[in-house]
Structure 1
Amino acid sequence: MKAITISDVAKQANVSKSTVSQYLNKRYDYMSEKTKERIRQAIEELGYQPNIVARSLKQKSTSTIGVIVANILHAFSTQVIRAIEDICNEQGFHIIVCNADDEPEKEKNYIEMLIAKQVDGLIIFPTGGNIDLYKSLMKRKYPLVFFDRVVEEIPASTIMLNNEKAIKMAVDHLVDKGYEQIGIMTTSISRHVTPRIERINGYKKALQENNLDFNEEYISTLDLHHIQQGLKEMLSLECPPQAIIAGNDLTLMEILKFTKENKVSIPEDLAIIGIDDVSFASFFTPQLTTIAQPTFDMGKRAAELLLNKIKDPEYQEKTTVYRFEPELVIRNSC
């Protein structure tokens, strides 16, 4: 079957090739409605599909960005991806999403694959394990935005929650409710993942500011499949915590599984507050008090920032790290 070309469309619509090209690139400010309709009908009747590869080579742009998330199972990740996609769609860009599973080697492979596919820029939730590769991207002035994690050696634009404030809000709320023995659980900090480190540090500061004693046994940072066992051990202490802060959504789900299986009543036996306003928080029984991240605003800012860099290689930023403010969502779990 003969491939339909832009020349075939132009002939069918009785216009020039350049007019069809302008239509395809949505540059039809001075094009009459009749002309646009003829071109649209010609494209539909002929079944014409633009050659994206050829157009990309001509324009030196694929109108595509890559998004590499650390763990796509986090509700936070999927909410951010949705916001990025919305902004990119508005500006005529597509996204390719990759899941690194917090593995540096997997992240490296995805970065190299996306660059080979000539994506115009990258938004990365960095593992922190590919410093030389990040440096190479920065040296080439490749459009790059980091998300949710700071890599100290790399001065890349970075979108972050104010993590210490988020934990302070959680601790302050629990103290206001009369709790004094407050624990925190999160996934492993062995790879020095920024939000987890900042939330632990914020927890210690918030206890001090509220004149509460610090108990090392009330802090648990474990691989996800050990969270339930860690909670069991914490609640078996001679003086167990009265309340637990879940450092992220996956930790929260493991805590809730444990409380259900072991008939731990919330908040009578154990008060709970989670970082990340998970979708089920408002209809879980009891409804879960959470600290919400402004995921849409964060994702929107990341996309806008990257697109600015793509469209203007000389784009100048006012800052490197963009911090967003958390919100306390009060319900019934504490």
Structure 2
Amino acid sequence: MKKITIADVANQATVSKSTVSQYLNERYDYMGEETKARIKKAIEDLGYQPNIVARSLKQKSTKTIGVIVANILHTFSTEVSRSIEDVCNEEGFHTIVCNADDDPVKEKRYIEMLRAKQVDGLIIFPTGNNRELYQRMLDEKYPVVFLDRSVPDIPVSSIMLENEVASELAIDHFVEKNHRRIGLITTSIIDSITPRLERLKGYQNALKKHGIAENENYISSVAPQEVQTALDQMLGQNQPPDAILAGNDLVLMEILKYVKQKDLRIPEDLAIIGIDDVSFASFYTPTITTVAQPTFKMGKMSAELLLNKIKQNKIRDDRPDYRFKPTLMIRESV
């Protein structure tokens, strides 16, 4: 089957190849509506498919960005990725989303794969354990933006939540509802992941503000699959916590599974607040109080920042970090 070329389109539309090329690159300044309509019809009639690889080589751009999320199961990751895709689509860019599973080896592999595919830039939820690779991209003036996390001494702009404020909002609400034995369960802080450390610090500062002594037995940092075991230990104490702050949506889901299995009542037996406003929080019984992140605004800013770096070729910017305010969504679980 003969491959349809730009010359075939030009002949069919009775225009020059350069006119067809201008049409394909959306340069319509001196092109009449009738000419555009003829070229469009010729492309459709012939079934012409532009050679994307050749065009990318010529333009030195693939009009594609890569997004490497830490864990695609997080509501935050899904909503942010959707927002990034929306912005990129409006600007004529494609998006490739990869899931690193918080694994530095997978993250490194995806960074190298996406760069080999010549994507124009990357938005990364960094594991923090590929510092040399991050620095090399900066040295090569490759466009990168971090999202949700920062990496000390790596001057890449980061889009993040005010995580300490998120914990403080939750603790303030617990105290307002007369809870003083307040626990925190978060995913592992071994790798110094920014939001986990900051949410822990915010929890500790809020307790101090309210004159509540910190109890190390009320704090647990574990993998999601270990949350229920941690709850057994925490709630099995002589004086167990009567309120729990879930550090993210995956922890919240494990807590709710535990509550159901143990036939506990919310909030009578255990008051709960989760950071991340999961979709089911408003219709779970009882409804779950959460601290919401402005996920779509954060995704939008990260995409706009990266596209600006790509278009203006402005890579180093002395690393301004962008922080977004959380919102307490008061419901029935406290």
- Bin for the TM-score computed over the shorter chain: over 0.9
- Give the share of equivalent positions with the same residue, in percent: 65
Report the equivalent of 2:206. Answer: 206
Report the equivalent of 1:159. Answer: 159
Range that drifts further, 282-291 or 11-20 = 11-20
Task: Name the amino acid aligned to 2:160.
Answer: M
8 Å Cα contact 1:228-1:258 kept in structure 2: yes
Gaps of 5+ in 2: none
Report the equivalent of 1:168. Answer: 168
Task: Name the amino acid aligned to 1:198.
Answer: E
Report the equivalent of 1:217. Answer: 217
How do residues 1-334 of structure 1 correspond to structure 2 at under 5 angstroms? Answer: 1-314=1-314, 317=317, 320-334=320-334
Residue 267 of structure 1: SS of its match in structure 2?
A: coil
Task: Measure, in 2, the Cα distance between the counterparts of 1:314 and 1:333.
Answer: 47
TM-score, with length taken from structure 1: 0.98
Post-superposition shift, 1:318? 7.6
8 Å Cα contact 1:131-1:153 kept in structure 2: no
Q: Deviations over 1:293-322 (max 9, x none)?
A: 000000000000000000011367485211
TM-score, with length taken from structure 2: 0.98
8 Å Cα contact 2:126-2:149 kept in structure 1: yes
8 Å Cα contact 2:170-2:245 kept in structure 1: yes
Count of matched residue pairs: 334
Post-superposition shift, 1:175? 0.8
Residue 281 of structure 1: SS of its match in structure 2?
A: helix
Task: Name the amino acid aligned to 1:42.
Answer: A
8 Å Cα contact 2:23-2:36 kept in structure 1: yes
Residue 280 of structure 1: SS of its match in structure 2?
A: helix
8 Å Cα contact 1:22-1:28 kept in structure 2: yes
8 Å Cα contact 2:158-2:319 kept in structure 1: no
Task: Name the amino acid aligned to 2:180.
Answer: E
8 Å Cα contact 1:4-1:46 kept in structure 2: yes
Task: Measure, in 2, the Cα distance between the counterparts of 1:211 and 1:191.
Answer: 30
8 Å Cα contact 1:308-1:315 kept in structure 2: no
Task: Name the amino acid aligned to 1:283.
Answer: F
8 Å Cα contact 1:243-1:272 kept in structure 2: yes
Task: Name the amino acid aligned to 1:206.
Answer: A
Post-superposition shift, 1:31? 2.1
**Structure 1 runs, 4 residues or longer, greater than 6 Å off:** none
Gaps of 5+ in 1: none
